[in-house]
Structure 1
């Protein structure tokens, strides 16, 4: 039985690799479509996270007076990393549904479509890193040797978002109402994660909210590396990464066994 599972997964992964050109095309077309009718075009990839930081800095740092030292840097790291997470969550619900016309005509591994969302928004995120770098320079913050951990954190977040995207894309095919819940879910995750507030401010009896929250651990890892010249929580990162790889593998296997159900539901 294990041999059959192995062969099934191997064949499914081979089908995905055979269509890597389609994956690349979908990523490129998604990037072009994002700001196709925008006057500033691709400049929004830099401007959007910058505007977010300015708004929250004004509300929290100036109006409420609750900003800490280097609060602008604190905010930009949290908001840029969160933007990748939130856009993937929001777009995953329709990742398969919006390509229903193609899916009904040609056989394609359906998992390609949620994968596309993760990689498309990864490109946007990389532009956000430029904004973070500018804020670091302006505030005179120079990351230490711990910056070597940065690719690890990006990969962990990538795999984590892949597992989330595969889940929401599949479930949304059968439960269409889940798309209406996405904005509320994103809001809950946003306010329960230290995106605009410091995790250490929580009372001791609520610290577990940060400890078990993978989004919080990933955001804190970015800040440790880029802002505080400290080692990230490697145990937390490795745990999130391994769990995400396992969940992604399980979902890919589930996709391979249930693709006919997706076609019928569409």
Structure 2
């Protein structure tokens, strides 16, 4: 495994190149180009604000900020998960010609979407300023939550990229799985905003308790909206188990890369 990690270190320039090319490819043929990095999360916020806040009248105080934080954090999760299924497959022609550590490709997906998330933070900051919401000193912990989300998504990306090589149907299933997690997480809702009946619903409490996405999104809101500390116990457990999963997956990659080549 040490040799494998050294090989990844040697290929760090390739990782940087793939991230740069991935960013360029996303909006290469669009008229607005890189402006979509800001416009896309903004349009998502406007759509769901109209749906939940206007049509369903489930918005509350500062609902716009509540919504933009959830949707920007979710966008990073959604794009990483859906992109990871093809992370290795789309580079099959290169992999069959040159030896490369295959784990570099899911790392590229997660890192590329991290940069897109940074542009989403600009949208969040704009909403905070527009609504007069001032984060407290707890905002200094924002990079910690971003790091926890990064390692969480990297673990998922490594797993999905590997398994998708052998089970191609995973890519077709993911869109449905992510949709379930979207509605099972407090992205566009919280207990009180679903209606009075939801406030005492034990299943909502369970979903928020065991759902790592709920902990991450709520952590962002605690820091940026509520001027309070997030639930560090839940967040650090997510980070710890994600790091363990990454180590296990990297080891598994190092022992089974020949199987990936055969499957491609």
TM over 0.5: yes
The alignment status of 1:210 with 2:208, answered yes or no, reads: yes
The alpha carbon displacement at 1:249 in A equals 0.5
2:56 aligns with: 64
- Select which of 156, 166, 171 maps to 1:174: 166
Aligned equivalents of 1:202, 1:244: Cα separation in 2? 31
Aligned equivalent of 1:95: 87
1:190-209 equivalences under 5 Å are: 190-199=182-191, 201-206=198-203, 207-209=205-207
| Distance change (3 Å), C-alpha of 1:244 and 1:199 | farther
Q: Does 1:47 align with 2:39?
A: yes
Q: CA, structure 1 residues 42+160, in 2 after alignment: closer, same or farther (shift >3 Å)?
A: same
Give the Å deviation of 1:80: 0.1
Give the equivalent residue in structure 1 for 2:113.
121
Query: Match of 2:195?
Result: none
Q: What is the TM-score normalised by the length of structure 1?
A: 0.96
Q: Confirm or deny that 1:27 pairs with 2:19.
A: yes
- Equivalent in the alignment of 2:246: 248
Q: Distance in 1 between matches of 2:239 and 2:180?
A: 22
In 1: Cα distance, 2:53 partner to 2:72 partner: 18
Q: 1:239-263, CA deviations, whole angstroms, 9 ceiling, x for partnerless residues?
A: 0000000001100000000000000
Q: 1:205: Cα distance to partner?
A: 1.8
Give the secondary-structure state (helix, strand or coil) at the position aligned to 2:168: coil
Partner of 1:6: none
Q: How many angstroms does 1:96 deviate by?
A: 0.1
Q: What is the CA distance between 1:99 and its match in structure 2?
A: 0.1
Could you tell me how far apart the structure 2 residues matched to 1:203 and 1:259 are? Answer: 49
Task: Measure how far apart 1:20 and its partner are.
Answer: 0.2
Contact 1:224 1:232 in 2 (8 A): yes
Consecutive unaligned residues of structure 1, counting only runs of 5 or more, are 1-8
Root-mean-square deviation (CA, aligned residues, Å) is 0.8
**C-alpha distance in structure 2 between counterparts of 1:35 and 1:140, whole Å:** 32
Q: Return the offset for 1:199.
A: 4.5
Matched, 1:231 2:238: no
TM-score, normalisation: structure 2: 0.96
Match of 2:149 in 1: 157
Distance 2:172 2:227 in 1: 40
Moved over 3 A (4+): 199-204
Unaligned 5+ segments in structure 2 are 193-197
Please report how far the alpha carbon of residue 203 of structure 1 lies from its aligned counterpart in structure 2 after TM superposition: 3.3
Contact 1:199–1:210 (Cα < 8 Å) also in 2:
no
Match of 2:104 in 1: 112
Displacement of 1:202: 4.9
> Residue 87 of structure 2: SS of its match in structure 1?
coil
User: Cα deviation per residue 1:185-217 (whole Å; 9 max; x = unaligned)?
Assistant: 110110100000015645342111110100000
Query: What is the rounded CA distance, in whole Å, between the counterparts of 1:228 and 1:15 in structure 2?
Result: 44
Question: Residue in 2 aligned with 1:222?
Answer: 220
The count of residues paired between Structure 1 and Structure 2 equals 258
**What CA distance in whole angstroms lies between the structure 1 residues aligned with 2:23 and 2:36?**
11
